Amino acid sequence: MIPATYPPKAEIARLTARMLLEIGAVHFNADEPFTLASGLPSPTYIDCRRLISYPRIRSTLMDFLTVTVMREAGFEAFDNIAGGETAGIPFAALVAERMALPMTYVRKKPKGYGRNARIEGAMNEGQRVLLVEDLTTDGGSKLSFVDAIRETGARCAHTAVIFYYGIFPDTEKTLGDHGVALHHLCTWWDVLAEAREQTSFSAATLDQVEEFLRDPRKWQEANKK
């Protein structure tokens, strides 16, 4: 069912941050930084996959994501909802259910046998496809999914995520140059503000996190092992 209520964007961001903190999806550790896929250190880590195990929060956030997309892109803007392998698949299914649209998913690479396809499900030429993922950092990983969708003859000009890092200035330009608009619920800045409000972490830890968010590349260079 399509949600009928439309909280303001700022309230959606605050509540999303609160829910991510509540379920333990947010991790801050400046003393023993996490290692990102790039190999670089970070005092922050977020695990949006945890959301699928919390039905009330999961349902609320999928309502938020649906209304955000409709408000920003249009009520009749899409014909197909595609999830990116693997984290985007459950969220795409939940959004597709709310919007009463077909759901597909995009593999990171061809599976290497059978049809050797990257698109699973029925995606047709000319369809307007929304790519759904759990999060985006610098936007780069989205481009491969978008290209796979476009290779079918479908169109993909929008991607929606629960969480957007919001600290790398070129992210939206990278996507925009590829003809893709980004829609999101909250960023690290929203999470930091809510963490300070809740005193979820020590002030010293949150100060380190803020230092990282203001200049992530500088913090990473200073904290390389």
pLDDT at position 6 is: 80
Whole-angstrom distance, CA of residue 20 vs CA of residue 133: 16
pLDDT at position 116 is: 66
pLDDT at position 3 is: 66
Point out which residues pair with 104 in neighbouring strands: 82
Residue at 133: amino acid letter:
E
**Which is nearest to 1 in space by CA: 51, 59, 52, 49?**
59
CA distances from 15 to 31, 154, 162, 207 (A): 28, 34, 12, 22
pLDDT at position 211 is: 94
Q: How do residues 158-175 score in pLDDT, each as one tens digit?
A: 999 999 999 988 999 999
Q: Containing H/E element for 221?
A: helix 216-222
Q: Is the pLDDT of residue 54 over 90?
A: yes
Whole-angstrom distance, CA of residue 120 vs CA of residue 118: 7
> Which domains, from first to last, does the chain contain?
9-218 (3.40.50.2020)
pLDDT band at 114 (very low <50, low <70, confident <90, very high): low
Average pLDDT value for the chain: 92
pLDDT at position 1 is: 63
Locate 53 and state its tokens. 């195990």
